[in-house]
Structure 1
Amino acid sequence: MNPDAFDALSADLAEGVRADDRLLGLVLLGSASESGRMRRDEWSDHDFFALVHRGRGAEARESLDWLPSPSSRVLLAREGDIGFAVLFADGHLLEFALAEIDELSGAVAGDASVVVDDEAGSAAGLIGGAQRRAEASDRFDPANDAALFLVKLLVGVGRVRRGERLNGGQFVRQWAVQHLVRAVRGRFAAASTSRRDIIDPLRRFEDDFPAEGARLAEILDSPVEEAARGLFDLAREMLEPGWGQFPAAAADAVAARLAWGPDAAERRAS
């Protein structure tokens, strides 16, 4: 979607919210927000909160007539009780929560623009709290994440060898990778730029760690156990040297349990 069309759709969303007496506010999130505009590209969708007056949440979720371009919608899907995804014929996607303020009491948010609000500033108050929660949770414990990386890797490979390739692959490609990326960001905090996502550490990892991100992506293109070994070697090469908190004994135990033989560092030294 080109920039003018993107902005026009944002304006249409705001108009729809203002015209519906069930709704009190609209908050554009991520790249849809004004502060996230510089990251917007052809793949950006509209993420937002549509906020509902207290006690009218269930009623509001019965109809999405306030959304623009009803004739262009080709898909409507629900995500949990308050989440929605709407796809238009041109491939543009809306992902949003349609909820009362209290239903979003635990929400976290990064970039956000309050476009519509009530006189009490309910939307602004919600987003202020969501951003504070996100900032408070934006902390890394690289030693713990490195340990959990090894745990997820061991469990995943074990399940693959048991024949549970789907579940084991999820442990390797999803959970282990998440903990590895968190460990890297925590270990090398100065390398993470302001472009990173404070909610999802994997977002724009390649921007901050281009060589490592490219290698990580290449590793994940491999069959699952080969990918697991590649992740293991990458973790030891990146994290272990000069870092006393790396769980080296645990890494050795995982390698021995999986019969992976000498680790990458030992192979390079030989």
Structure 2
Amino acid sequence: MRKERLLRRLDEIGLSLERTQGALLLLGLGSVGNELDRLDEFSDLDFFVIVKPGYKTRFLELLDWISASHPIDYAFKNSRDGFKILFSDGIYGEFAVFEEQELENISYSEGRIVWKKSSFDDSKIPSSQVQKSNIHEVSLDFCINEALTNLYVGLCRYARGEKLSALRFIEGHAINSILKVLHLLEKEVAYYPDAFANERRLEKRFPRFAVKLEHMLQGYNRVPESANVILEYIESVHPINKQMCNEVRKLIKLCLQI
């Protein structure tokens, strides 16, 4: 079972760190952290490695400490702090390395200690370090009007032939604006909300809205149709300016004729 393999691999990384000078802590995150109940066959590894001051560069430049757990076929340095990797047996993972003093300045959801050096002080680990972003907005009026104007701008771009930009404004920005206040429009089911990506597990958290999504996200060649469904939705959940609504409808009609 992949779930067991993931947890075993993380334990193996911990054993490798035990043998590597400078390592202090291995922190499992997400579904291999404190959310083990949602670990499934499609999960991957997500973890932080905490090291002593002065050792960060060594752990980022030499990946022997991780390949010692299992050979890796792919390693992509996707940030100044970490990598995305693929082990030779198909297990995928993402990790970041931080020095001990950086702990208080990094954002993450609560993690699970997989391994730690016996001398490391547990009290230095924040239980959770999530810097609140604008994933959830409190202003319904602001976000709905933002979505409305996203539709307008996107349709104007579609009309001039900028279909990709139109897609991003309508099926991207407008939907994101709605997601920020969806908790004010529909009762949210408590199922592991992600503080950094509001679309995660949306189908379980907002099942009534989820069934509408396929009509809001019809793709590159049906952007006006998507815009029409989104407009009808925002009209149904919040009062919007009629003139602006009419202008958007005119643009939808125009774009459908292109």
TM (norm. structure 2) is 0.82
1:137–1:230 Cα change, 3 Å: closer
SS at match of 1:58: helix
Residue 213 of structure 2 aligns with which residue?
216
Aligned equivalents of 2:252 and 2:154: distance in 1?
18
Given that residues 156 and 172 in structure 1 are in contact (C-alpha distance below 8 angstroms), is that contact kept between their aligned partners in structure 2? yes
The answer on 1:92 being equivalent to 2:101 is no
Aligned equivalents of 1:102 and 1:145: distance in 2?
38
- Give how far 1:200 is off: 2.2
Deviations 1:211-263 (A, max 9, x none): 320221343134223222222222222x22xxxxx4x11x741541561579x
* Alignment map for 1:40-189 (pairs within 5 Å): 40-68=39-67, 72-103=71-102, 105-117=104-116, 119-121=119-121, 125-131=124-130, 133-134=131-132, 139-141=136-138, 142-188=140-186
Aligned equivalents of 1:76 and 1:61: distance in 2?
11
SS at match of 2:90: coil
Q: Which amino acid aligns with 1:253?
A: M
Residue 36 of structure 1 aligns with which residue?
35
The answer on 1:204 being equivalent to 2:201 is yes
Deviations 1:146-189 (A, max 9, x none): 2322233333333333333323322222222222112212333x
RMSD: 2.9
Residue 256 of structure 1 aligns with which residue?
247
Q: Which amino acid aligns with 2:41?
A: E
Q: Which amino acid aligns with 2:250?
A: A
1:4–1:179 Cα change, 3 Å: same
SS at match of 2:77: strand
**How many equivalent pairs are there?**
249
1:91–1:155 Cα change, 3 Å: farther
Aligned equivalents of 1:217 and 1:107: distance in 2?
36
Aligned equivalents of 1:143 and 1:12: distance in 2?
50
Residue 25 of structure 2 aligns with which residue?
25
- Give how far 1:208 is off: 2.6
- Give how far 1:101 is off: 4.3
1:23–1:224 Cα change, 3 Å: farther
SS at match of 1:21: coil
The answer on 1:193 being equivalent to 2:211 is no
Task: List runs of 5+ in structure 2 lacking aligned partners.
Answer: 254-258
- Give how far 1:66 is off: 0.8
Q: Which amino acid aligns with 1:172?
A: I
| Larger deviation, residues 215-224 vs 200-209 | 215-224
SS at match of 1:50: strand
Residue 4 of structure 1 aligns with which residue?
4
Residue 266 of structure 1 aligns with which residue?
none
1:115–1:260 Cα change, 3 Å: same
Residue 267 of structure 1 aligns with which residue?
none
Q: Which amino acid aligns with 1:229?
A: N
Aligned equivalents of 1:63 and 1:94: distance in 2?
17
The answer on 1:235 being equivalent to 2:226 is no
Given that residues 109 and 127 in structure 1 are in contact (C-alpha distance below 8 angstroms), is that contact kept between their aligned partners in structure 2? no
Q: Which amino acid aligns with 1:208?
A: R
The percentage of aligned residue pairs carrying the same residue is 22
Q: Which amino acid aligns with 1:212?
A: F
